[in-house]
């Protein structure tokens, strides 16, 4: 079951500048930042609110770390903007299997490591009305409590 918007992924050319925009304009602070070499991104998570399932909703600001990364390719084509949405679930494996059985392409055979030690997978945007969609199970999921 999907129980929250986990994050909205926003692609940018300059992470520090974009973090400053969100701080100065809205007062959002960086909750967590890291580099994910596998995904080719440097990211900042801005926590917007906690959610009723024990999780939270974030903005995920993404800057590419290398030219052949998916985000660099997307930025070159589209410029800065909303790159993906992510739904949160206590069971990314189960949701991915269910979605796959409905004919939507799940991009990874097994979930990979995402922000803050989460487990993530992606659904192909061409099967989701043009929206790159991510499924996330948080590292320490309070959702089952």
Tell me the DSSP string of 69-102. Answer: SHHHHHHHHH-SEEEEEEEEES-HHHHHHHHHHT
Q: How far apart are CA 93 and CA 136, in angstroms?
A: 10
Site for Co ion in 6-35 (CB under 5 A): 9
84 is catalytic: yes
Alpha-carbon distance of 129 to 124, in angstroms, equals 9
For ligand V0V, the binding residue among 3, 51, 65, 70 (CB under 6 A) is: 70
Nearest distance in Å: CB 57, ligand V0V: 13
- The site string for Co ion over 77-106 (x = CB under 5 A, - otherwise) reads ---------x--------------------
Q: Which residue stretches of the chain are H helix?
A: 15-26, 70-78, 92-101
The helix/strand/coil state of 32 is strand
Q: 91 or 118, CB closer to Co ion?
A: 118
Stretch that binds Co ion, among 12-20, 25-33, 52-60, 103-111 (CB under 5 A): 52-60
| CA 107, chain centre distance (Å) | 14
Q: What is the contact surface with ligand V0V in residues (CB under 6 A)? A: 9, 36, 39, 41, 60, 62, 70-71, 73-74, 83-84, 86, 107, 114-115, 118, 120, 122, 124-126, 130, 132, 134
């Amino acid at each position: 079951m999907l129980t929250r918007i986990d994050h909205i992924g926003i692609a940018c050319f300059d992470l520090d500048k974009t973090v400053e925009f969100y701080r100065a304009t809205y007062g959002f602070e960086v909750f967590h930042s890291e580099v994910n070499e596998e995904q080719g991104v440097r990211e900042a998570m801005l926590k917007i609110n906690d959610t009723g399932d024990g999780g939270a909703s974030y903005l995920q600001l993404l800057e590419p770390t290398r030219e052949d990364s998916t985000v660099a390719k997307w930025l070159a084509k589209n410029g800065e903007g909303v790159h993906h949405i992510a739904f949160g679930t206590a069971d990314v494996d189960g949701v991915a299997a269910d979605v796959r059985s409905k004919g939507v392409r799940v991009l990874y055979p097994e979930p990979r490591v995402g922000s803050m030690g989460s487990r993530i997978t992606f659904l192909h945007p061409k099967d989701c009305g043009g929206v790159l969609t991510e499924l996330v199970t948080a590292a320490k999921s309070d959702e089952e409590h």
